[in-house]
Amino acid sequence: MQEAEGLSAVLSGLPRTRRETEAWLDAFVDGNRFTIAVFFPLIGAIMLLGSAESWSFIPAPLRFNVPLILFGTIVMAAPLIVGVIPAIDRRALGGVGVLVGYTYLIEYVGVSTGWPYGTFEYGISLGPMIGDIPAALPVFFLPIVLNTYVLSLLLLGDRGDSRLFRLGVVVPAVVAMDVVLDPAAVSLGFWEYLDGGVFYGVPLSNYAGWVLSAAVSVGVLDWTIDRGVLDARLAQCEFLLDDLVSFVILWGVINAWFGNWLAVGVALLFGVAILRAKRFDAGLLRPSTGIYVPCVVDR
């Protein structure tokens, strides 16, 4: 791979096979790590806070703009998605399908009955709805599960070979991510728990619900993903946790703005975990000079 210069080089250097596509995506994400993992979450935090606080320099059409929210979420998740693609075969793809179905099902039950998360309603549109459920919900749910699964495997090492031990680590990690996410989302007005909650407006029942969802998700991932392929990918992919870096920056900043300091502390703990997993590159803090577009040269 080398950097494409000019439109003709970009077009002629596009990948044609799965192997070339995976290599091209790796090079693209690796070459744009600052933009994806630092710039996007910082801009996202400003846009979301500006929307919630009605800052004058955020034009009304851009406040809580659904296409921008979805685009930013997908871009920040790109390192995770690209990182795990080589481990996704038909069985794993089926597992993703099961998790997507579970996401809709548990949300439908939650919206309809208040179980298991607590009675809540959406306050800000997250795009087209399927009934009372955002159609894009899996875009927000799946990265939480995958990030914690990958992080736990990296930190556990050989101990991660035990399914029971893995379950005992990943489930609390998923709940901890929601300890960061939910208070910020409630503060922004994305959703509201109608009976309130003791943790920055979030009820403890919500976290009990996440224990269930995390356990189901870990079980599905364990059953469908080829651990040998995933472990090999973890060993060679430096940017695999960059989505988690984005998560720490985005939701850490938002929680800090609203004074949700316990949530900020948990976000910082995830930052420490990323450092311990040796997946934080100081180069992420160096601004890039533009968008890097790779070019396939060896065919």
Taking the CB of residue 47, how many other CB atoms lie within 10 A of it? 19
| pLDDT at residue number 41 | 97
Query: What's the whole-number average pLDDT of the chain?
Result: 91
**Averaged over 294-298, what is the pLDDT?**
67
Dist CA 14 CA 5 (whole Å): 13
- Is 45's pLDDT higher than 90? yes
Could you tell me where the DSSP H helices lie in the chain? 7-12, 18-31, 33-34, 40-53, 66-84, 90-113, 137-156, 163-188, 204-224, 227-236, 242-258, 261-276
| pLDDT at residue number 232 | 92
Condensed to tens digits (0 to 9), the pLDDT of residues 170-187 reads 999 999 999 999 999 999
| pLDDT at residue number 8 | 63
Q: In DSSP terms, which residues pair with 193 in a beta bridge? A: 120
- Is 274's pLDDT higher than 70? yes
- Binned at pLDDT 50, 70 and 90, residue 299 comes out as low
- Is 9's pLDDT higher than 70? no
Sign of CA dihedral 112, 195, 192, 271: negative
- Is 208's pLDDT higher than 80? yes
Between residues 163 and 284, the one the model is more confident about:
163
Which range is least confidently modeled, 6-10, 128-132, 168-172, 241-245? 6-10
Domain of 259, in residue numbers? 2-295
**Averaged over 36-41, what is the pLDDT?**
95
Q: In DSSP terms, which residues pair with 67 in a beta bridge? A: none
- Binned at pLDDT 50, 70 and 90, residue 279 comes out as confident
Q: Longest C-alpha distance within the chain, in Å?
A: 61
- CA geometry: angle at 162 spanning 159 and 164, to 5°? 120
Running DSSP on this structure, what letter comes out for residue 202? B
Dist CA 287 CA 230 (whole Å): 30
Q: Which tokens belong to 281?
A: 């590159």
- Binned at pLDDT 50, 70 and 90, residue 161 comes out as confident
Is the peptide bond preceding residue 183 cis, with omega within 30 degrees of 0?
no
Helix, strand or coil for residue 174? helix
Domains identified in the chain, total number: 1
Condensed to tens digits (0 to 9), the pLDDT of residues 64-113 reads 999 999 999 999 999 999 999 999 999 999 999 999 999 999 999 999 99
CB contact at 8 A, 192 and 153 = no
| DSSP letters spanning 36-69 | IIIIHHHHHHHHHHHHHHT-TTS-GGGTT-HHHH
